[in-house]
Amino acid sequence: MDEVTTLGNARGSTRRDGPEQPLADLRPGDRATVVRVVSAASPAIARRLADLGFTPGTLVQVRRRAPLRDPVLYRLRDYDVCLRRAEAACVRVVGAPR
């Protein structure tokens, strides 16, 4: 099974907020809502992301990223979390524009 948590419609679906996309694709200043976390790389990473607060329905904002685009600082639930792009790619979100 490659999904840990899901919100809304089936995998790969589009919603009123726009198409699903990886959190890693957002730019600084963008905001989005977490739809699901996939565990394609590792179930342990998916669990860690959920423990950090990346759960369905959570609003996330991209704060800033390092010069080489890795790692990236995200704001969620009143705190900041720094993730590598590979980890952020496991988080699927909808609705991005600033």
Residue type, 32: A
> What is the domain partition of the chain in residue ranges?
3-94
**Within its chain, how far is the Cα of 12 from the centroid?**
14
- Residue 98: its pLDDT value, please? 55
Name which CATH class applies to 3-94: mainly beta
- Specify the pLDDT at position 24: 95
* pLDDT value, residue 9: 42
pLDDT tens digit sequence for 22-74: 999 999 999 999 999 997 768 899 999 999 999 999 999 999 999 988 999 99
pLDDT band at 13 (very low <50, low <70, confident <90, very high): very low
Q: Residue 28: is the preceding peptide bond cis (ω within 30°)?
A: no
Mean pLDDT of 6-10: 44
